[in-house]
Structure 1
C-alpha cells in the first residue's frame, strides 16, 4: 500500500469517528428535547 493510500485510510477512519460522534450527539440531543417537546408545542415544531 502506498503512503497516499495509508493517509487516505486514516482520514476515512477519522471521518467515520467524527460521524459516529456527531450522530451520538444528535441522538442525545433528541433524547433530551423529546420530553420537553411533548409538554411544549414550540419544541415539537423545531424537530424535523
Structure 2
C-alpha cells in the first residue's frame, strides 16, 4: 500500500519545483527585456 503522506510530499515537491522554475523563467525574461531596453536606449542616446 502506498503511503498517502509520501504521495502528498512528492506532489508538494513537484508543485514547488514547477513554481520555482516558472518564477526563475519569468525573472530571466524580465531581466532580458530590461537589458534589451537599456541597450536600445543607450544606442539611441549615443546616436544623438
TM-score, with length taken from structure 2:
0.71
**What SS does structure 2 have at the residue aligned with 1:24?**
helix
Deviations 1:10-41 (A, max 9, x none): 000000110110011011001100022332xx
Aligned residues: 39
Greater Cα radius of gyration, structure 1 or 2: 2
- Give unmatched runs, 5+ long, in structure 1: 40-48
Are 1:3 and 2:7 an aligned pair? no
Corresponding residue for residue 45 of structure 2: none
TM, length-normalised to structure 1? 0.71
RCO higher in structure (CA 8 A, sep ≥6): 1
- 2:28 and 2:11 map into 1 onto residues whose CA distance is 26
Q: For structure 2, which runs of at least 5 residues remain unmatched after alignment? A: 43-48
